[in-house]
Amino acid sequence: MEDLEIRLTCGREEFETVLAIRREVFVEGQSVPLDRELDGLDDGAEHILVLLGSEPIGCARVRTTGRTARLERIAVLKGWRGKGFGQRLVVFLVDHCQKHGMEKVVLHSQCAVRGFYEELGFTAHGPIFMDAGIEHVRMVLGVPSAGNDPD
């Protein structure tokens, strides 16, 4: 399955590619309203692209506040799911955050994919809440303890 490349986007064209994947996965695939998907927070974020050969198959976004990194918009195109690419993407994201000094890595998981993140070492924390009409739960890498809350 090789020729997999996971890296930060480079330039406007690759950012547009990321947006196209997000539109397909979240807006068309999960009926997330476009104005929720394009939430105005992209400019202050890092964007990650997953390429299989030259084909874009997945993406993610990372936002940081202090030493906390928030993983967002994690997506693999439907035809490429279930092959381990999503897992490799999250491993890349966590490694990237830790290399850049982040002490806490958090995300808001759709409840339907909570097991995916648990396999990668994340722990659910706090109540289920709705976002864009989809049930979510906050998750933090590792076991939450005092001072290690997701938000």
Stretch that binds ligand COA, among 11-19, 33-41, 96-104, 107-115 (CB under 6 A): 107-115
In the complex, the smallest distance separating the C-beta of residue 49 from ligand COA, rounded to whole angstroms, is 14
Q: What is the rounded distance in angstroms from the CA atom of residue 143 to the CA atom of residue 120?
A: 12
Question: What amino acid is encoded at 5 in this protein?
Answer: E
Residue 19's DSSP bridge partners are none
Residues 6+ apart with CB under 8 A from 20: 56
Q: Phi and psi (nearest 5°) for 9?
A: -70, 155
Stretch that binds ligand COA, among 7-15, 47-55, 97-105, 108-116 (CB under 6 A): 108-116
- Which one of residues 18, 25, 27, 106 is an interface residue with ligand COA (CB under 6 A)? 25
Alpha-carbon dihedral of residues 79, 80, 86, 92, nearest 10 degrees?
-140
Give me Rg for the CA atoms of the chain: 15
Indicate the residue among 34 and 112 with the shorter CB distance to ligand COA: 112
In the complex, the smallest distance separating the C-beta of residue 103 from ligand COA, rounded to whole angstroms, is 22
CB 148 within 8 A of CB 142: yes
Stretch that binds ligand COA, among 10-18, 35-43, 112-120, 140-148 (CB under 6 A): 112-120
Per-residue binding string, ligand COA, 118-147, x by CB under 6 A, is: -x----------------------------
Indicate the residue among 59 and 102 with the shorter CB distance to ligand COA: 59
Check residue 97 for interaction with ligand COA (CB under 6 A).
no
Burial zone of 86 (CB within 10 Å; 0-12 exposed, 13-18 middle, 19+ buried): buried
Interacting residues with ligand COA (CB under 6 A): 25, 74-76, 81-87, 109-110, 112-113, 115-116, 119
